[in-house]
């Protein structure tokens, strides 16, 4: 049923529709078209433009997902270099995770913001995990 409907549209209705178009024989004939003629041509021109775009779209360069190239967007921007020193002896728990994606709200401690960052950018960054051996 569906294919029969498509076939009918292509074989009968499309040629009848195209016969009504005021297509000029020369390029200069387009200048002599009236406003009403141009309005009749708009749907066809729109479809042709869409088909042209869909044809070339796979060959267009892909846009980057991330809007900026900076890694550190907001942490200690007033300093020329961000450095955090933590003595291993001062670790209170056996495992501590430190942020390496610069998106953590609890920087320098990781809050798993890298998961969203990786999904948005295709990156594979993860935390720095320090483990304290218990003797």
Residues catalogued as catalytic: 81
Query: Distance between CA 134 and CA 93 in Å, rounded?
Result: 10
Q: What angle do CA 9, 46, 4 make, to 5 degrees?
A: 15
Are 100 and 114 contacting, i.e. CB atoms less than 8 angstroms apart?
yes
Residue 103: Cβ within 10 Å count: 22
Q: 40 near 60, Cβ under 8 Å?
A: no
Do 135 and 128 form a contact (C-beta atoms < 8 A)?
Answer: no
């Amino acid at each position: 049923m569906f294919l029969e409907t498509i076939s009918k549209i292509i074989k009968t209705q499309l040629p009848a529709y195209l016969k009504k178009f005021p297509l000029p024989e020369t390029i200069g004939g387009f200048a002599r078209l009236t406003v009403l003629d141009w309005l009749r041509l708009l749907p066809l021109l729109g479809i042709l433009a869409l088909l042209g775009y869909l044809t070339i779209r796979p060959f267009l360069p892909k846009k980057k997902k991330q809007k900026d190239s900076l890694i550190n967007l907001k942490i200690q921007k007033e300093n020329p270099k961000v450095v955090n020193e933590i003595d291993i002896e001062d670790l209170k728990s056996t495992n501590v995770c430190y942020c390496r994606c610069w998106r953590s709200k609890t920087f320098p401690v990781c809050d798993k913001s890298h998961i969203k960052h990786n999904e948005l950018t295709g990156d594979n960054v993860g935390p720095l995990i320090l483990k304290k051996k218990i003797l």
